[in-house]
Structure 1
Amino acid sequence: MSDEPETRQLAPVHLPEDAAASDAAVGLGATSLPPRPSAPPSPDDLQAVFDVPVKVQAVLGRSRMDIGDLLRLKPGMVVELDRRVGEPVDIFVNNRLIARGEVVLIDSTLGITLTEIIRKEG
């Protein structure tokens, strides 16, 4: 007998290329993946998440003050913010920065026009 390990030649496995291929792969122990959608989801596809509540914040700026100063605030008093007029407003959804925009006034209603969408790299 020889001390070298015995080598065996494995026969290649040929799977059918049609829809049965995924069934054959499952039989070999592989996991079957669901088919990838060919088109982006339509609004009807997203209906299940339409009622999910999210927290949306438009941050005009920030200010730091002592609690005593905060308690002395009255209507009409001005709080100085860390941003200037015309600087972009940060838009947060569930505490995540998603966009920047500009404050607009339309028919006496305050709103935000989105000027930049923030994409998370990663």
Structure 2
Amino acid sequence: MTNSLDDARCDTVKRLFAAYLAQRPEIVDAMLAPDFTFSSPRDDHIDRKSYFEQCWPKEKTFRDIHIEHLLADGDDVIVGYRAEKMDGGSFRNVELIRFAGDRILEVNVYFGRNL
């Protein structure tokens, strides 16, 4: 059973992905905690400035992002998704998104395989 905080955090994650797909970093900036960090196999605890410089595409890269799994557990939300690229390729990833209150404190991306 979920509670209202879990639902709110899942909604924030959905908005995060929608903003990423729409290339709207200004929407996401307001969602992030001041000491936000991002990690992936290519990035190790980079700060928010580096996150926007390195991780946000300069041109439209994704046709769609389908959230397949979304689960809140305390301060963490786990999201599994399939991304469809503009070039026709697709892949799956899983992210662990940690919250501090109503803001995203940390994102950890685990890369999946190409489909």
Asked if TM exceeds 0.5, the reply is: no
Which one has a larger percent strand, Structure 1 or Structure 2? 2
Please give the TM-score of this superposition, normalised by the length of structure 1: 0.27
Relative contact order: is structure 1 or structure 2 higher (C-alpha 8 Å, sep ≥ 6)?
A: 2
Task: Select the structure of larger CA radius of gyration.
Answer: 1
Which protein has the bigger helix share? Answer: 2
